[in-house]
Structure 1
Amino acid sequence: MSADTCLSSAQQRLWFVWQLRPDGNEYNVPRATRLRGALDVGALQRAIDRLVARHDALRASFPTVAGAPVLRIAAEASVPLPLTDLSALPTAEREAALGEAVARAALAPFDLESGPVLRAELIRLAPDDHALVLTFHHIAVDGWSMGIIDRELSALYAVMVADGDDPLPAPGRSYRDCVAAERRLLESPRRHEALDHWRAELAGAPLELALPTDRPHPTTPSFAGDSRAFPLPPELAEHVDAVAARYRVTRFQRWSGSQLPWKPTGTRRGRWVARSGRRRRPTGSPRESPSDRYSA
């Protein structure tokens, strides 16, 4: 067990939310992968354990000491890989049962005080058809690091099947190193410069989004949201890219800022002004801090 240390800023926010809703699952990060063909379950278990051994963030827990959370890294940890066998079900019922099993695994809450921050489950539909469900808490991973996890787990399983050694180079730095680097940055003069900048930029910004809604907002968030995907017409995508290049911003920044130039009636911006009574409003989006890239 390594010495306790402080959390990163992102982890502090997620820990605080977890304290408010310890039974919540909105920050679960599930990954379900269909595995067709012969599967060596023992090799898969060893590959998962080796993955956890490589990355200290996957061995983390966040107990409270003297009223404040600390980051505690276990020296070693093994992630159980329970098997749920659906192969005895009629073929027509297996896919529905698989969906239910994946949802149960993905939605179960985590206990950040004692850990772990990663759960694994193997679901068998047939001798040559499985689904691997890995569920992480967002306090340990993000979308960027999930790409690393996918690549490394695949490579580790391949060598474990052949009884080989870990072929991957050691991570360049630990998560604890990244947290320490962020802490030094926050204690430097740059922190005060950044605070002064954003206080000036956000001065006078509205504190409440005053828009009419189709139903009252609940007192307690339900997190029962949804998403919609739609393709952009090629000509619109080209226009967005051209404007983004002109102003030296990303496509995402341009698309997010497409509502910023105020225009009069008949436009989305004009409707915003009419409904909210404001000509300025802040927008925000999640981002990762340098300390989140622990696997780099």
Structure 2
Amino acid sequence: MLLKNETNSRSLLATWKNRDKKTVGDSRISKAPVGATIPLSSGQQRLWFLQRLLPENPVYNYAESFIFKGELNEAAFEHSLQSVFEENPILRAYYPYEDGRPIQVTDESSKVDLKRFDLSGMPKVDQEKQKLDLLLSDARRHFNLNEFPLIRTTLVKLNNDEHVFLLTMHHIIFDKWSMDLFLKELAAHYLAYSTDFEIEKKEENRLQFADYAYWRKNRELDAIQMAYWTKKLGGEIPLLTLPTDYSLPANPSYKGTSYRTKFSSTLSKRVLDLSKKMETTPYVFLLSVYYILLHKYSNQKDILVGSPISLRKDTALENIMGFFDETVVLRTSVLSEMTFLTNMQIAKTWNTEYRMLNIEYRISDKELAGCIDHTLLSATATEEQIKQLCEEAKSYG
């Protein structure tokens, strides 16, 4: 939706994106004490619970493939990978269950395991099939969060001037932002190893994801924010009933797809202009449209929408790899007798500061059941599994 030739639109979006970020100098985050037990962040904890519920399901695998054109110095590439691993402890993290809770541990002595496959002698058709088989089999192989590594690297040689790099990891250690950081660091190290270019060394005592997770777990919760969310998400949670062609299967496959569409320049500009006129963001504007659409299809007034957000509110976190994503539940009432503007104002009531709240408190059996999709619990988990997870949740607190 960003317009390439619209300077005002670009600066407006940049202002919205960075409006509440803390500067490095104002950062409240400090290093975790030496030897401290590192907890999971709230987002990691959510993924950990879901993975425990479906231990052999690769739904939270994050897989990417990259094509390298031209001559590749494989030794320099492997050295570069090793350097990135050494500089970013999150890539060497795993999550054993100790003393009634999962903790974050870094494998200090690990080396990158780059698997190599040479397909250069194959016919083109067989080569493409083998390459796809390698990618899919790796992407579909689940990880055990209790064990290192939670990342797999593979280099496939197609010919002397073309290689494919396969990167698969569990989402618990990586978000999309981290992928960009990973590729930039990998490219910088490769350039340094391949030439006489000298790379700028990072500070040894810089912040890492473990420091963030420790800080977030041990900070004081805001009573006002807690009261806000308790009220906002209290009471009966309605299930959105949309008209579908088929009923939900008893055993969901978790296979799906996504459809993307691109706004035209004219429509993008109208959305930006209207958002500015209504003193809101394009996100809230489009979210309001989405609420109304769901209301029209379901004929329900009380609607909840899950929305992914990034917790990189502090500029000190911008260059740190890790899983900073979180899912917040946005609840609103859509009333057909009200105007769009009124409905948008209702949707706008959730405050950006409140939505960043990490609700960390003891989870009861009922609360755990409420935070996991009902079809997931009823269709794929036994009563004993649910009971065990509830006990683990309460002890983790």
Same fold (TM over 0.5): yes
**Counterpart secondary structure, 1:284:** strand
Match for residue 18 of structure 1?
51
Identity %: 26
- C-alpha spacing 1:40/1:219, structure 2 compared with 1 (3 Å): same
Corresponding residue SS for 1:236: helix
Aligned positions of 1:186-197 closer than 5 A: 188-190=220-222, 192-197=223-228
2-structure distance, mates of 1:65, 1:285? 31
SS in 2 for 1:113: coil
Q: TM-score, normalising length from structure 1?
A: 0.87
SS at 1:286 equivalent: strand
**Aligned pairs (5 A) from 1:71-90:** 71-90=104-123
For structure 1, the 5+ residue unaligned runs are 263-267
The verdict on how the C-alpha distance between 1:210 and 1:258 changes in structure 2, with shifts beyond 3 A counting, is same
Gaps of 5+ in 2: 1-33, 321-397
For 1:25-104, list aligned pairs within 5 A: 25-104=58-137
The two structures have a TM-score, normalised by structure 2, of 0.66
Cα offsets for 1:100-143 (capped at 9, x unmatched) = 22122222111110121211000111122110111121101101
Alignment of 1:157 onto 2:190: yes
Offset from partner CA, 1:195-246 (integer Å, 9 cap, x none): 2112223345743112222112123331111011222233322221122223
For 2:218, give the aligned amino acid: R
1:265 — aligned with what? none
For residues 243 and 198 of structure 1, what CA distance do their matches in structure 2 show?
29
Pair 1:279-2:313 in alignment = no
Aligned counterpart for 1:289 among listed residues 297, 302, 311 = 311
2:212 aligned residue: 178
Distance change >3 Å, CA 166–CA 109, structure 1 → 2: farther
1:8, 1:291 within 8 Å by CA — same for their partners in 2? no
CA distance in 1, matches of 2:218, 2:313: 11
User: Between Structure 1 and Structure 2, how many residues are aligned?
Assistant: 284
SS at match of 1:12: helix
The answer to whether the 8 Å contact 1:31/1:134 transfers is: yes
What is the alpha-carbon distance in structure 1 between the residues aligned to residue 130 and residue 94 of structure 2? 32
- Matched position secondary structure for 1:111: coil
Shift of 1:259: 3.0
Q: Aligned AA for 1:219? A: A
Amino acid at match of 2:89: D
Q: Does the Cα contact within 8 Å between 1:28 and 1:135 map onto a contact in 2?
A: yes
Matched, 1:255 2:280: no
Secondary structure of 2:284's aligned partner: helix
Amino acid at match of 1:17: L
Give the corresponding residue for 2:255.
224
- Matched letter for residue 86 of structure 2: A
- Partners in 2 of 1:127 and 1:49 — Cα distance? 23
Contact kept, 8 Å, 2:91 with 2:173, in 1: the verdict is yes
Q: Could you tell me which residue of structure 2 aligns to residue 233 of structure 1?
A: 264
Measure, in 1, the Cα distance between the counterparts of 2:255 and 2:123: 32
Deviates more, 1:171-180 or 1:50-59: 171-180
Within 2, Cα distance between the matches of 1:149 and 1:229? 26
Instruction: Give CA-to-partner distance per residue, 1:41-67, whole Å, 9 cap, x none.
Output: 111111111101111111101011123
CA contact (8 A) 2:63 2:166 kept: yes
Any idea what SS the aligned residue of 1:26 has? helix
Q: Does 1:108 align with 2:133?
A: no
AA matched with 2:190: Y
Question: In the aligned structure 1, how far is the partner of 2:189 from the partner of 2:216?
Answer: 31
2-side partners of 1:255 and 1:116: how far apart?
A: 40
Query: C-alpha separation between the residues in 1 aligned to 2:294 and 2:51?
Result: 36
User: Retained in 2: the 8 A contact 1:55–1:295?
Assistant: no
Check the 8 A contact 1:205/1:280 in 2, yes or no: no
Does the 8 A contact of 1:49 with 1:78 survive in 2? yes
| Alpha carbons of structure 1 residues 30 and 291: separation in structure 2 relative to 1, 3 Å | farther
What's the offset of the Cα at 1:68? Answer: 1.4
Q: CA RMSD, aligned part only?
A: 2.4
Q: Give the direction of change, closer, same or farther, for the CA distance of 1:269–1:208 in structure 2 (3 Å limit).
A: closer
Distance 1:65 1:144, change over 3 A: same
Q: Shift of the alpha carbon at 1:69?
A: 0.8
